[in-house]
Amino acid sequence: MRFVGSIMMKTSLKKELVFVIIVLFISMGFIPITNGITQQKQELADNQVKNLILSNIEGKPDLVVTDIYPQTTCTPMVSGMAIWVVNIGDATATGSVHIHFVVKRLLFGIFPIPIYRDEESRDVSELTPGSRIIMHGPATDKIGFYQFCCTINPHKSIEESNYNNNYYSVKFLVLDPEWAWGWCRLN
């Protein structure tokens, strides 16, 4: 009889532990999301752009990628990756903006294996200094460690003051690819 009681106590303890873990995981996911980005993060990005613009005075545009994050709509379901492109130069960029996007799976969290490549272009009539556009890339549908890399203006079709700042990458641990709270940014 005593043996049955200890088994029931162990399963009850396991249930409580699982419940606590689930509640903690869900509570971390209900951070207010506005189109995939919080208001605080948007203000921080705006301040970073202002600082970058002040340091660039050459009479040419300068395109940079300031962030890559899982894109959501009105629900927290991930529909792709959003890529923020900002003109930090002191002249307006016109023409077709190209972006080269690569998704790499990190084997054991270390070794990058390219699994997807894509190139997107978008015509912009005027991308004034300090303004931004959001371009799109694919997300992943599998659990694991990933690195999302992109190069803006890879063909140098838009004359810029600095081509050395056109590459950007970010790493994610993807625990649940369908939902925004299943994506943990690693850098």
Residues 12 and 58 in one domain: no
Which pLDDT tens digit goes with each residue over 42-66?
Answer: 565 555 555 555 455 678 899 999 9
Considering the domain architecture, whether residues 15 and 52 belong to the same structural domain is answered as: no
Q: In CATH, what number is assigned to the domain containing residue 61? A: 2.60.40.10
Q: Mean pLDDT over residues 156-170, rounded?
A: 91
Q: What is the distance, to the nearest Å, from the Cα of residue 114 to the centroid of all Cα atoms in its chain?
A: 17
Contacts of 119 (CB under 8 A, 6+ apart): 98, 99, 100, 101, 154
Asked if 10 and 65 sit in the same domain, the reply is no
- Computed over every residue of the chain, the mean pLDDT equals 78
Phi and psi torsions of 110, nearest 5°: -130, -55
Specify whether 99 is located in the same domain as 130.
Answer: yes
- pLDDT tens-digit series, residues 107-146: 888 889 899 888 888 888 788 888 888 888 888 889 999 9
The residue with greater pLDDT, 94 or 39, is 94
Tell whether 102 and 114 lie within a shared domain.
Answer: yes
pLDDT at 40 over 80: no
Answering whether pTM is above 0.75, one says no
Q: Are residues 64 and 132 in the same domain?
A: yes
Average pLDDT over residues 26-42: 47
Q: Are residues 106 and 37 in the same domain?
A: yes
177 lies in which domain range? 32-185
Same domain, 58 and 102: yes
82 compared with 51, residue with greater pLDDT: 82
Whole-Å CA distances, 154 to 23, 68, 83, 163, 179? 45, 17, 15, 9, 31
Question: Which residues, 6 or more positions from 166, have their beta carbon under 8 angstroms from its beta carbon?
Answer: 63, 64, 65, 151, 152, 153, 154, 160
Please indicate, yes or no, whether residues 45 and 21 belong to a single structural domain of this protein: no
Regarding whether 77 and 129 lie in a shared domain, the answer is yes
Total domains present in the chain: 2
Residues 8 and 73 in one domain: no
Q: Are residues 36 and 117 in the same domain?
A: yes
